[in-house]
Amino acid sequence: MKKLCFIISVLLLVAVLGCIKPSEKVLLIFSYHPEHPWVVEETRGAEDILEERGVETEKFYLDTKRNTSAEWKEEVAEEAMRKIDDFKPDLVIVFDDNACELVAKEYIGESLPFVFCGMNGEPEDYGFPAQNITGVIERHHLEATIELLRRLVPDVEKLAIMSDDSPTSQAFITRVRNIIPPVEISEFYTTNDFDAWKAEVNRLQTNVDAIGIYVYHTIKENSEEQSLPPEDVLGWTLENSELPGFAFSDFTVRDGVLCGVTVSGYEQGMTAAEIAIRILNGETPADIPIKCPEEGTPMINEIRAEELNIEIPADVLEEVEILP
């Protein structure tokens, strides 16, 4: 009798274990480093969805903002692919353009599904969508940002946009050159040299009415290999410019630029994770259209407005997020 009970117990245990679904595994591959404010928000958005599902995740950082050389990119891309082999994920989410270029492109047509997000370039530049790849593109709100700026500073007529000289910046500038803005954008300036950046900020003080700041994360000083802390670049810019500034990312307005209708890293990460869940549930990437979140967040940095002696109209106050 005892032997029979033991056999039944073993059979029941085997049956129970056979019904337990193995943990789903998702690898998150980021183009930048963990402390980058955009990465922080992307991570938060993705994890809010994936943790609710109970997905096992691991993270890998390409760190291509602080380290921009071709040699670094080649080495870290190989390391990322080794991570995929070792972790054996059910799905990979890649964040921002460098991860698309360096990693996801190498898996086009493979069985492993990929979801991208934060893509500034055009999907077809990377060969997407593919049978196993879909995702979320990032599109900035140039016209809406300029309209918000003009509500704060009505006499703005001539603008410039500055950015570092990175693949992210080039994709952005290529796209916005094809947009007809409500006022003149007299020039787009890109550089990775801090001295050149400073000289351009100084020159623009008497040549335009406002300066747009896109990204400033691959700028270096004295030919150093590693990029400067972005807060140092933006801090110097704000201290040495008397012109109103506008931006396209929420972290740039939070860090001191006057205003912008901004994109959200949180929304990008969340939307990518929602697509990932659909794929884990059985849908194929090829059947899920590429998404583009359309809503931007109007933001004004109140401290910067006070520094520039700009009064925020009452009707604008009702419509935007005011940052203290």
CA distance linking residue 273 with residue 279, whole number of Å: 10
| CB neighbours of residue 216 within 10 Å | 25
Domain residue extents for the chain: 23-138+265-287, 142-262+297-323
pTM of the shown model: 0.87
Q: What's the pLDDT at 324?
A: 77
CB-CB contact of 118 with 96 (8 Å): yes
Q: What's the pLDDT at 23?
A: 85
Query: How confident is the model over 262-291, as pLDDT tens digits?
Result: 999 999 999 999 999 999 999 999 999 999
What six digits make up the tokens of 162?
């500055």
Q: What's the pLDDT at 123?
A: 96
Q: What's the pLDDT at 241?
A: 98
CATH code: domain 142-262+297-323 is 3.40.50.2300
Equal fold, 23-138+265-287 vs 142-262+297-323: yes
Residues lower than pLDDT 70 in the chain? 1-22
Beta-strand relationship, 91-95 and 114-119: parallel
On the CB side of 200, CA atoms within 13 Å amount to 21
CA distance linking residue 133 with residue 105, whole number of Å: 9
Q: What's the pLDDT at 14?
A: 37
Query: How confident is the model over 17-35, as pLDDT tens digits?
Result: 344 456 899 999 999 999 9
Beta-strand relationship, 259-262 and 297-301: antiparallel
Q: What's the pLDDT at 17?
A: 36
- Which of 3.40.50.2300, 3.40.50.150, 2.140.10.10, 3.40.50.2000 would CATH assign to domain 23-138+265-287? 3.40.50.2300
